[in-house]
Amino acid sequence: MQISVNNQSIQIDEEATVAALVKAQKSQTRAIAVAVNQQIVHRENWSEHRLHGGDVVDIVTVVAGG
Amino acid sequence: MLTDHEYLRYGASLCLDTFGEEQQMTLKCARVTVIGLGGLGCAASQYLAAAGAGTLVLVDDDTVQLSNLQRQVLYTSEQIGAEKAHNAAKALSQLNNTIAIQAKTLRVNKDNAQELVAGSDVVLDCTDNLTSRWIINKACYQAGIPLVTGAAEGLHGQLMSLKPAEQHGCYACLYPPDTEERPACERTGVWGPLVGIIGTSQAFQAIRVLTGQHSDWGVLHTFDGARMTWSQFYLPASAHCSHCQEGVCKSQ
């Protein structure tokens, strides 16, 4: 199925989870937040949250500088 | 009551459709605590002072470094080595001599955070590290005080307003305490004007909070300077959050 990740269209397995996507994207798991369709999915729910075709995913890297 | 001087000083605010004497009086009576007087704090505090926030509390334990001057616009070349909080207070009192400004040269920590935020109508988190951000988040949630948190690195900014009385998530719901600490601005780099964009946005949000015009609680605003775009993400509360789900004030 096709989803959008940070404004780029990608192919991913049917019923892939947020955790699988994060792993596939090689994102630094402990330095990011993930939003699906403009809503943050908490880290503890990544392995249960299944993605659907057309989902818009944003992987947001932590920014803490000031 | 506003004085004649204040009517003139704040005239451009007072003629707005959504802002009048009542809102200006609310600002005048407000106590705003700005924690961190680096790039974000310099930008935010200038607009809060200029807008007439009645009491500004400035908290930072740091001194001015040459490499700060690229973005920390309250300080001068002559102030290198001097305390930031004190010098920021001096510059802001020149900008607006009708407000009260308190400078506190100390670093926020677990032991002093609650005392620092106590009595504030809104707190601005302008710090530069995750540890301070979690401490401030927890203290604001324990005291039921609205928090406007901002951050900037490279070309990226993040901004979020949190109200403990509301049901949305808190800073620790977004970035749980096992999130990896990242290096400070001077190692990762930051575009000077970016801290201005995020810091002045924090001041803007704080004024909306104080005057009851804030509506986007619990929304993470991210700014991508490479594309000049803002995005918004709603942050629900995490059922497992140790900051906002355990014994905190939800009654305000």
- Catalytic pick from B173, B185, B241, B244? B185
A53 Cβ neighbours under 8 A, 6+ residues apart: A1, A2, A3
Domain extent listing, chain A? 2-61
> Is B185 among the catalytic positions?
yes
- Topology of domain A2-61 in CATH is Ubiquitin-like (UB roll) (3.10.20)
What pLDDT, on a 0 to 100 scale, did the predictor assign at position B185? 61
What pLDDT, on a 0 to 100 scale, did the predictor assign at position B188? 79
Q: Looking at the predicted structure, is the pLDDT value of residue B249 above 60?
A: no
Q: Looking at the predicted structure, is the pLDDT value of residue B245 above 90?
A: no
* Radius of gyration in angstroms for the set of CA atoms belonging to chain A, rounded to a whole number: 11
Tokens of B26: 């609310």
Q: pLDDT tens digit string along A32-66?
A: 999 999 999 999 999 999 999 999 999 999 999 99
**Using CB atoms, which residue from A43, A62, A66 is nearest to B152?**
A66
Q: Over the range B47-70, which residues count as b (16 or more CB within 10 Å of their CB) and which as e? A: bbbbbbbbbbbbbbebbbeeebee
Q: Are residues A63 and B151, on separate chains, in Cβ contact within 8 Å?
A: yes
At B152, the pLDDT band (50, 70, 90 cuts) reads: very high
- For residues B188-193, average pLDDT: 92
Domains of chain B (ranges; CATH) run: 21-234 (3.40.50.720)
Q: Looking at the predicted structure, is the pLDDT value of residue A31 above 60?
A: yes
Q: Are residues B41 and A66, on separate chains, in Cβ contact within 8 Å?
A: yes
Query: How many CA atoms lie less than 13 Å away from A30 in the CB half-sphere?
Result: 7
Q: Looking at the predicted structure, is the pLDDT value of residue B250 above 90?
A: no
Q: Looking at the predicted structure, is the pLDDT value of residue B125 above 90?
A: yes
At B180, the pLDDT band (50, 70, 90 cuts) reads: confident
Q: Looking at the predicted structure, is the pLDDT value of residue A6 above 80?
A: yes
Instruction: Identify residues of A whose CB sits under 8 angstroms from chain B CBs.
Output: 28, 30-31, 33, 35, 38-40, 42-44, 58, 60-66
What pLDDT, on a 0 to 100 scale, did the predictor assign at position B252? 38
What pLDDT, on a 0 to 100 scale, did the predictor assign at position B181? 76
Q: How many other C-beta atoms can be found within 10 angstroms of the C-beta atom of residue A33? A: 23
pTM recorded for the entire structure: 0.96
Q: At what angle do helices B39-51 and B192-210 cross, to 10 degrees?
A: 40
Q: Looking at the predicted structure, is the pLDDT value of residue B131 above 90?
A: yes
